[in-house]
């Protein structure tokens, strides 16, 4: 500022000015006939454009009259008083009364006073010289009792640091006004910030984080997206940061509700809003060209709120070069993909409220006041827990409960658990409404069945149902509808899941037979109790878990009437303590029913049933891709696979009495996974040479199975070939290894306790990790095997029976990690490859030597925990991790 004094604009003795009671940012005191249509008019327009709400009285008071009480109130309700001293300011007793009251507010309330000396010298004001002296000569005659207070006010005001426009920007008035407005806004800034912090719970830290990402003050144009779940506070944060920083820009505009407004009025009106608020005269030009051209050399701040389509961004903020140096564009959206596609500089993920913040916000909207509510604290905690940190939910529920008594609170909480608040649901449902039909089905399946389930397992079922989940899941994440937890499970906000349930129940919340998905146990039981003639064609997926065995049969009968059913998951949990042999009352001889399963079925998962067979004979199920049977303790024979032309995954686990796999499995040309585990009664597996797409083959703990003539005809030298894909493949001897068909073993890992029956040919160009642990490999298996793994980096041979391992005979030039732990008969490791970095040989009680490791320049760890007979290592061991038994 330019002035004759360095005094503060606020009284040093003031107790602090509270902005909470303020109605105006600024009050303008001026002499109308001098400046109303010139300097003050331009100043007022600049203040308004900057978003500084200013009181300017345009009435003319008759000479000699006192100011109206409403003017005094306006002064008291303003954060800053701007006094424009001009040549004739002192002629008006009204102006002098305003001045006296302003200075009183400064002294008593700490109001900020900012004088402007327009075409008048500060000394003329302070010492009442020239026109000011002449005016006071008249006032001495007409208002003698007020003159002393006016003189003191003039002296005090003129001693405050202020502006002389003729000395700002070389006397250029427009530039001078711009500088004055900027400095006024800076004075307002701390007050505005405190106001935001007080009224918006948890905003301070979030504002700080966003401002750091905006990099205010740095060069260039920066676009920042604020992304998150609906009702999470995106608009509130954008609004707060807008208020905080808008004074630092040449022009500002906050475009609200773009999704809704563009749909209602089109993008043209939104473009006009931006141009209007930036005071751009269209003059008939194209809007897009105007935005592009008019802002190219201006430092602007634009907030685009609730964007949901790329066209909106293209029209309103097409690219960085539309805007001048230092500009900032803030975009709020529920769709992360829009931001990445538009190449914003930063995506700011909204952070929901923590428990303390959530409680503060809830109490703000549902204050306890003086009511005695013994359970208020506990009920408040329940509401906060239900809301899960979502500001929208806390605000809606707090406003609803604020005038309710304790019984109404309890009733409302019980109802919420069954029927969510529609205001909250409808707000969240906006994201769902923007999905494609297949994405909607995908979301509803995850919300109803797969929350907290491992993503990789759920994806198999979702893919079998035709939902294309690889693409769809990414869309749902970008829309902030779901997340993936650190341990790889599907997750989502509690209220987002409730929104999904709400959509499925639709207009028939109490009629589960009309729902597309059924997952609640009580709903399934209600369906099972219905008349067998009731049509159940709406149900597409059903999950019945933890059901008593005696209820399972009625469930299966009900399922037979669900003609559109694509997915079944039945888990009976009442037979956990059963041991072999099975009690007679558990041995059900009948199958699952003539009409089971429905023809449209894509996925069948059954657990703990007691039937001897699933169905009898041939049954066409053209869409069935996944069949998983767990602990079907009385199952004797698998189904006929001839009617399952698209079966891709067949898993059998803990089927004690299973004796035979139906021969038709050999014709399942689309089968990718064949997994048989812990089926001790299984005696025969038919030929599987026709399984041309088989990728994963697992026979685990099937002790009677591994007589090779029974697994595959003419295969007494079965070959496991590990090819370029890094998976294990099974081959008949004599076939060309280049054209081998896939038959992958997990990790890859060969079946436990069956390797003695199998000739081993290990050959792969691309394999990186091989696990042959617990395979009872002996010296002959190792020496007879052909090892050709030029890119293998990790090899696990733990818990085997060989006594020596000579790497000079194995082609493993890239091996970095070797595990031979618990190989009790291992005596010697020799010729370790030069690439080796880690050797783990714990509890190898017979081990005597690791050979010469002087060539192992990358070796940094040798673990020899437990018993062993290893002496000092031969070679340079200075790079090893430690000394002693764990080097």
Known catalytic residues are 98
Say whether 135 sits in a helix, a strand or coil: helix
What does the alpha-carbon distance between residue 161 and residue 183 come to, in Å, rounded to a whole number?
12
Q: Which two three-digit tokens encode residue 213? A: 């990402």
Q: 796: which residues sit within 8 A by CB, 6+ positions away?
A: 769, 770, 771, 772, 773, 819
Beta-ladder partners of 649: 626, 673
For the four alpha carbons of 619, 621, 625 and 631, in that order, the dihedral sign comes to negative
Query: CA separation (Å) from 502 to 448, 491, 510?
Result: 10, 17, 12
Which among 810, 826, 811, 728 has a CA at the least distance from the CA of 777? 826
Beta-ladder partners of 699: 676
Say whether 557 sits in a helix, a strand or coil: helix
- Alpha helix positions (H), 479-534: 494-505, 521-528
Say whether 434 sits in a helix, a strand or coil: coil
H/E run at residue 37: none
H/E run at residue 627: strand 626-630
Count H helices, E strands: the chain?
Answer: 28, 30
Exposure on the CB side of residue 429, measured as CA atoms within 13 A: 15
- Alpha helix positions (H), 658-756: 708-711
Say whether 586 sits in a helix, a strand or coil: helix
DSSP assignment letter at 775:
S
- Torsion angle defined by CA atoms of residues 469, 466, 510 and 398, in that order, rounded to the nearest 10 degrees: 20
What does the alpha-carbon distance between residue 49 and residue 32 come to, in Å, rounded to a whole number?
21
Other residues' Cβ atoms within 10 Å of the Cβ of residue 436: 10
Cα angle 604, 610, 614 (rounded to 5 degrees) comes to 40
What does the alpha-carbon distance between residue 839 and residue 842 come to, in Å, rounded to a whole number?
9
What does the alpha-carbon distance between residue 565 and residue 536 come to, in Å, rounded to a whole number?
9
Say whether 862 sits in a helix, a strand or coil: strand
Phi, psi of 191 (to 5 degrees): -70, -45
H, E, C per residue of 232-275: CCHHHHHHHHHHHHHHHCCEEEEECCHHHHHHHHCHHHHHHHHH
- Phi-psi category of 774—alpha, beta or left, where left has phi over 0 and alpha has psi -120 to 50? left
H/E run at residue 470: helix 469-478
Phi, psi of 582 (to 5 degrees): -75, 140
Q: Computed over its alpha carbons, how large is the radius of gyration of the chain?
A: 40
The strands making up 719-722's β-sheet, listed across from edge to edge, are 728-731, 719-722, 759-763, 786-788
Which among 827, 832, 877, 874 has a CA at the least distance from the CA of 848? 827
What does the alpha-carbon distance between residue 324 and residue 96 come to, in Å, rounded to a whole number?
44
Q: Which two three-digit tokens encode residue 543? A: 């999950």
H, E, C per residue of 175-240: HHHHHHHHHHHHHHHHHHHHHHHHHCCCHHHHHHHHHHHHCCCCCCCEEEEEECCCCCCHHHHHHH
Cβ burial of 355 (10 Å; 0-12, 13-18, 19+) is exposed
């Amino acid at each position: 500022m330019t002035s004759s004094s360095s005094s503060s604009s606020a009284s040093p003795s003031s107790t602090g000015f509270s902005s909470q009671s303020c109605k105006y940012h600024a009050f303008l005191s001026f002499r109308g006939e001098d400046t109303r249509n010139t300097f003050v008019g331009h100043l007022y327009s600049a203040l308004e454009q900057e978003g500084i709400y200013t009181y300017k009285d345009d009435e003319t008071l008759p000479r000699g009259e006192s100011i109206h009480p409403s003017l005094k109130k306006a002064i008291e309700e303003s954060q800053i008083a701007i006094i424009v001293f001009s040549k004739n300011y002192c002629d008006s007793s009204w102006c002098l009364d305003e001045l006296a009251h302003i200075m009183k507010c400064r002294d008593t309330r700490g109001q900020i006073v900012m004088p402007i000396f327009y075409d008048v010298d500060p000394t003329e004001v302070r010492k009442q010289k020239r026109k000011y002296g002449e005016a006071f000569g008249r006032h001495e005659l007409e208002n003698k009792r007020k003159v002393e207070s006016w003189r003191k006010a003039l002296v005090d005001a003129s001693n405050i640091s202020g502006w002389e426009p003729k000395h700002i920007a070389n006397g250029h008035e427009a530039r001078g006004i711009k500088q004055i407005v900027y400095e006024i806004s800076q004075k307002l800034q701390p007050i505005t910030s405190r106001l935001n912090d007080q009224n918006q719970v948890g905003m301070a830290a979030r504002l700080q984080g966003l401002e750091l990402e905006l990099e205010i003050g740095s060069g260039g144009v920066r676009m920042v997206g604020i992304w998150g779940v609906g009702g999470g506070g995106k608009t509130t944060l954008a609004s707060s940061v807008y208020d905080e920083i808008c004074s630092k820009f040449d022009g500002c505009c906050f475009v609200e509700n773009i999704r809704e407004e563009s749909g209602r009025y089109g993008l043209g009106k939104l473009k006009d809003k931006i141009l209007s608020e930036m005071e751009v005269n269209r003059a008939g030009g194209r809007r897009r060209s105007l935005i592009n051209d008019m802002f190219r050399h201006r430092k602007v701040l634009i907030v685009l709120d609730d964007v949901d389509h790329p066209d909106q961004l293209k029209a309103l903020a097409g690219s960085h070069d539309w805007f001048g140096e230092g500009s900032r564009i803030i975009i709020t959206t529920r769709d992360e993909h829009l931001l990445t596609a538009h190449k914003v500089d930063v995506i700011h993920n909204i952070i929901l409220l923590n428990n303390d913040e959530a409680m503060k916000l809830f109490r703000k909207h549902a204050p306890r006041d003086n009511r005695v509510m013994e359970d208020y604290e506990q009920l408040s905690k329940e509401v906060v827990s239900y809301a899960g940190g979502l500001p929208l939910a806390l605000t809606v529920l707090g406003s609803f409960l604020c005038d309710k008594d304790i019984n109404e609170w309890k009733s409302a909480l019980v109802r919420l658990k069954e029927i969510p608040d529609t205001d909250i649901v409808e707000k969240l449902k906006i994201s769902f409404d923007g999905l494609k039909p297949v994405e909607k089905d995908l979301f509803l399946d995850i919300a109803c069945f797969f929350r907290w389930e491992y993503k990789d397992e759920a994806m198999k079922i979702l893919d079998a149902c035709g939902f294309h989940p690889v693409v769809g899941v990414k869309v749902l994440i970008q829309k902030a509808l779901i997340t993936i937890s650190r341990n790889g499970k599907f997750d989502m906000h509690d209220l987002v899941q409730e929104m999904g349930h709400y959509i499925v129940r639709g207009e028939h919340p109490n009629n589960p037979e009309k729902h597309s998905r059924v997952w609640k146990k009580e709903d399934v039981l209600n369906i099972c109790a219905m008349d067998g003639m009731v049509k159940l064609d709406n149900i597409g997926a059903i999950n019945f878990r933890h059901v008593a065995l005696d209820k399972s049969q009625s469930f299966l009968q009900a399922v037979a009437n669900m003609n559109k059913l694509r997915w079944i998951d039945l888990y009976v949990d009442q037979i956990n303590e059963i041991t072999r042999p099975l009690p007679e009352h558990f041995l059900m001889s009948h199958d699952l029913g003539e009409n089971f399963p429905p023809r449209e079925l894509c996925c069948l998962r059954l657990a703990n049933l007691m039937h001897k067979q699933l169905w009898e004979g041939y049954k066409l199920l053209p869409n069935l891709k996944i069949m998983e049977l767990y602990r079907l303790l009385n199952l004797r024979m698998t189904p006929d696979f001839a009617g399952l032309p698209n079966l891709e995954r067949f898993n059998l686990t803990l089927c004690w009495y299973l004796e035979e796999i139906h021969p038709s499995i050999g014709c399942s040309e689309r089968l990718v996974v064949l997994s048989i585990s812990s089926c001790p009664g299984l005696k025969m597996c038919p030929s599987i040479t026709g399984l041309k797409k088989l990728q994963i083959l697992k026979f685990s703990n099937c002790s009677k199975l591994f007589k090779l003539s029974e697994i595959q005809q003419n295969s007494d030298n079965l070959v496991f070939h590990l090819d370029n894909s890094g998976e294990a493949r099974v081959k008949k001897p004599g076939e060309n290894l280049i054209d081998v068909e896939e038959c992958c073993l997990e990790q890859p890992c060969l079946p436990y306790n069956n390797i003695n029956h199998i000739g081993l040919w290990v050959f792969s160009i691309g394999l990186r990790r091989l696990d042959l642990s617990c395979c009872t490999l002996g010296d002959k298996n190792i020496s007879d095997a052909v090892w050709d793994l030029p890119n293998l980096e990790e090899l696990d041979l733990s818990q085997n029976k060989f006594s020596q391992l000579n790497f000079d005979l194995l082609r493993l030039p890239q091996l970095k990690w070797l595990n031979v732990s618990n190989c009790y008969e291992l005596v010697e490791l020799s010729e370790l490859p030069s690439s080796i970095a880690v050797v783990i040989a714990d509890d190898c009680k017979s081990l005597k030597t690791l050979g010469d490791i002087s060539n192992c320049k990358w070796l940094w760890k040798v673990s020899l925990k437990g018993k062993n007979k290893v002496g000092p290592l031969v070679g340079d061991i200075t790079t090893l991790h430690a000394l002693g038994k764990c080097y």
